[in-house]
Every structure is written in structure tokens, then in C-alpha cells.
């Protein structure tokens, strides 16, 4: 059986192109089949689209630069004891690291109201979603009614009612695609995309208005291409297709994405992407970026400069400044996600 880790590590390092401290030459993304994807075209509006410069995005308010990171970050740390990831929490300054629950779980994702965390559980040769409270109580598995469908869930709908998941059936590759399920009980399984033969679809985010789902499509072991889909419509490429791990900013104006070691900002309404310039003492490759609730900060996985393919969690402002490593541990760390609500002042 293919386990979630087989996908997530391929996603993390192939889409970022990380095979060591020095970024390799980029390889072309796979071309989705014409029958299942079309390039996204944007019609200019009367209102000019905001400039996609990193500086502009990093300063969405008059008080930009004054904010300090707050809240709680969930992430996964590889455990040799369980031969998989274990979910941890830490404060936004990197302190207070604590294990959320024991056993193999991946992909922690905060609910929109910050009261629950979804995780991907693995048991009895099945992959399925579960939810838990941030204090470690209330663990609840969401059984998938279909006896052979596996669901690894990676994002909540903005209203907190549904989870969007990668689905696959080991004996039947024709069932690969993006699915959504009810977050309350795992029921009402709805298929959103059908992966072309030989491809996989991995969702990354809902748009803030809930109308679109961002996902990645590609062959296992190759670069994955960022795409968008409106439920009921055909998928389309995001930008020129040379993007991955797309996630909307909290205000919906921008999408942060990763591609071959670098992070990029793309106006959600269409326009040119802009690379986030990160000043670091030595080369780093970044993947799986996520936003802070105020849109001022990013948290992402980053390959350590001299570690081969091992990664830690890094925090930075949205313009790439104030890069800070934390959750530093000899073990692999991935899946960072920032709580969507600020703690009481």
C-alpha cells in the first residue's frame, strides 16, 4: 500500500528541486492532458491589479513591519519509533514545543475558527482523516465509508464544514483525484477532480471565498504543477504552470507558492509572479509555505544548508526578511500550519 509519507516527501523535495545544499537545474513540469486542464487566462479589469512586488505584499497595512508573530504553529516531526511523522505544536516564536498526540499522523491543518486541527491518520492499511482539539483532547477519527478509498486531507473549507483531500484506491488508479468530505463525520464524500492516468492530484488550499480549490498535479516522483479548480468545472493551470504548493493569503489578494527551491508571490486576480528574495547565510530550499493570520508572515519547510534532504521549519516576513529557523531537531520536519486566530492580548 502507498502511504502518505511516500507522497509528502516526494512533493516536498521534487517540487522545490531540493537534493542538497545547492539548488539543481530546474526540470520542466509535466504537461497536464488537454482534456483535463487548460491554461488560465485573465481578462484585465477596469481596476488595476496590485503590483506583485514582494515589498507591497509584505506591507498590507499602514502598520506593516510593526507586527510580531503570534499564535500557534502545528507541524510534523519524523519519529523513528513510529516510522512516520508525529504532530507537534509550538508558539509562533518557536518556543513551547509540545507533542499534540502520539502515533503516526501527518498534515496538521487548523480549522478556520482555530478550535480544531485536522490530521491524516494511518491505521490498518488505511489512510483517513481525523480531528483533534488544540489541547490534545477530543481526538475523533473520520471513517471513510468507502472500504477501499484512502483520503489524506490537507485543507478546510472557509466555513469549516468540509475538508479537501487527496484520494486514491490502490487496486484502482482510476479513482485518484481531489475529494471533499464533511469535517463533522467524514461523510458525504464528493469527488472534485479525476487525475489523468499515471498522475496524482494533491490539494493544498481553499480560496478564502470557498469557490476554488488549489491543488498540484503530476506524476509520482516528478515535479508537480499548481492548478485551480472550481467545483463542477474543469481544472486550469495556475499562472504559467511553473508553481507548486499554492496557498491564498488571508485576504485573498495573493497566492504564495514554491518552485525549485524558491518562494513566489502571484496576484490571485492574475499577473506576473514575483520571487520572494530571502537573505540567508547559505542556500536554502523552501517548500509548503503557509500564511500567518494577519498576512504579514510566512512559515515554511526549509532544507538545511548542509544536511542533504533534511528540513526544519522556518519563519519569515512575507517580503523574505527576518528569516528565523526554529523547531530545529535532527529529525525531518514538515507540514507547518499557522493557527488562524490571534491569542487574547
Which residue segments constitute the domains of the chain, with CATH numbers given? 4-22+52-58+68-338 (2.120.10.30)
Measured CA to CA in angstroms, residue 341 lies from 131, 134, 212, 293, 298 at distances of 18, 12, 22, 6, 15
Task: Name the stretches of the chain with pLDDT < 50.
Answer: 1-3, 5-64, 343-345
What is the predicted pLDDT for the residue at 242? Answer: 86
What is the predicted pLDDT for the residue at 306? Answer: 65
What is the predicted pLDDT for the residue at 276? Answer: 94
- Rounded Cα gap, residues 159 and 199, in angstroms: 30
Instruction: Report helix, strand or coil for 206.
Output: strand
Bridge pairing between strands 262-267 and 172-182: unpaired
User: Do 37 and 281 form a contact (C-beta atoms < 8 A)?
Assistant: no
User: In angstroms, how far apart are the furthest CA atoms of the chain?
Assistant: 58
Report the alpha-carbon angle 73-78-83, nearest 5.
Answer: 140
User: Do 193 and 203 form a contact (C-beta atoms < 8 A)?
Assistant: no
Name residues whose C-beta falls within 8 Å of residue 36's C-beta, 6 or more positions apart in sequence.
Answer: 193, 194, 196, 234, 235
What is the predicted pLDDT for the residue at 162? Answer: 97
H or E segment to which residue 186 belongs: none
Q: How confident is the model over 290-315, as pLDDT tens digits?
A: 999 999 999 999 886 665 667 889 99
H or E segment to which residue 91 belongs: strand 84-91
- Rounded Cα gap, residues 240 and 271, in angstroms: 10
What is the predicted pLDDT for the residue at 271? Answer: 87
What is the predicted pLDDT for the residue at 305? Answer: 63
How many helices, marked H, and strands, marked E, lie in the chain?
2, 24
Neighbours of 289 (CB within 10 A): 26
What is the predicted pLDDT for the residue at 260? Answer: 81
Q: How confident is the model over 264-284, as pLDDT tens digits?
A: 999 999 888 999 998 776 667
Name residues whose C-beta falls within 8 Å of residue 258's C-beta, 6 or more positions apart in sequence.
Answer: 15, 16, 243, 244, 245, 264, 286, 287, 288, 289, 300
**Residues, the chain, total?**
345
- Rounded Cα gap, residues 299 and 277, in angstroms: 15
Backbone angles phi, psi at 91, to 5 degrees: -70, 160
- Rounded Cα gap, residues 118 and 108, in angstroms: 6
pTM as predicted: 0.81
Question: Which strands form 172-182's sheet, in the order they lie side by side?
Answer: 150-156, 162-169, 172-182, 190-191
Report the alpha-carbon angle 264-151-171, nearest 5.
Answer: 115
What is the predicted pLDDT for the residue at 255? Answer: 96
Name residues whose C-beta falls within 8 Å of residue 173's C-beta, 6 or more positions apart in sequence.
Answer: 197, 198
Q: Whose CA is closest to 84, among 343, 334, 337, 340?
A: 334
Amino acid at each position: 500500500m502507498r502511504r502518505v509519507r511516500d507522497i509528502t516527501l516526494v512533493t516536498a523535495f521534487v517540487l522545490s528541486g531540493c537534493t542538497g545544499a545547492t539548488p539543481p537545474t530546474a526540470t520542466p513540469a509535466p504537461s497536464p492532458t488537454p482534456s483535463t486542464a487548460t491554461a488560465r487566462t485573465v481578462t484585465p479589469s477596469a481596476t488595476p491589479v496590485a503590483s506583485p512586488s514582494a515589498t507591497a505584499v509584505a506591507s498590507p497595512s499602514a502598520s506593516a513591519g510593526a507586527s510580531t508573530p503570534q499564535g500557534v504553529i502545528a507541524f510534523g516531526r519524523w519519529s523513528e519509533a513510529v516510522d512516520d511523522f508525529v504532530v507537534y505544536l509550538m508558539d509562533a516564536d518557536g518556543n513551547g514545543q509540545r507533542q499534540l498526540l502520539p502515533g503516526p499522523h501527518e498534515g496538521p491543518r487548523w480549522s478556520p475558527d482555530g478550535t480544531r486541527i485536522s490530521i491524516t491518520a494511518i491505521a490498518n492499511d488505511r489512510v483517513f482523516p481525523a480531528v483533534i482539539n488544540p489541547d490534545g483532547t477530543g481526538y475523533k477519527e473520520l471513517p471513510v465509508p468507502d472500504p477501499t478509498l484512502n483520503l489524506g486531507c490537507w485543507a478546510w473549507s472557509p466555513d469549516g464544514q468540509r475538508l479537501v483531500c487527496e484520494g486514491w484506491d490502490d487496486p484502482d488508479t482510476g479513482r485518484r483525484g481531489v475529494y471533499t468530505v464533511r469535517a463533522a463525520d467524514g461523510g458525504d464524500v464528493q469527488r472534485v477532480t479525476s487525475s489523468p492516468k499515471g498522475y496524482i492530484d494533491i490539494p493544498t488550499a481553499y480560496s478564502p471565498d470557498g469557490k476554488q480549490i488549489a491543488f498540484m498535479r503530476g506524476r509520482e516522483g516528478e515535479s508537480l504543477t499548481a492548478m485551480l479548480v472550481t467545483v463542477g468545472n474543469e481544472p486550469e493551470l495556475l499562472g504559467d504552470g511553473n508553481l507548486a504548493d499554492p496557498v491564498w493569503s488571508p485576504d485573498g489578494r495573493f497566492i504564495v507558492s514554491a518552485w525549485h527551491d524558491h518562494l513566489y508571490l502571484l496576484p490571485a486576480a492574475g499577473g506576473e509572479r514575483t520571487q520572494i528574495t530571502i537573505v540567508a547565510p547559505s542556500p536554502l530550499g523552501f517548500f509548503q509555505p503557509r500564511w500567518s493570520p494577519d498576512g504579514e508572515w510566512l512559515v515554511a519547510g526549509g532544507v538545511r544548508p548542509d544536511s542533504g534532504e533534511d528540513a526544519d521549519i522556518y519563519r519569515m516576513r512575507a517580503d523574505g526578511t527576518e528569516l528565523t529557523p526554529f523547531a530545529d531537531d535532527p529529525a525531518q520536519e514538515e507540514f507547518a500550519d499557522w493557527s488562524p486566530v490571534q491569542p487574547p492580548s
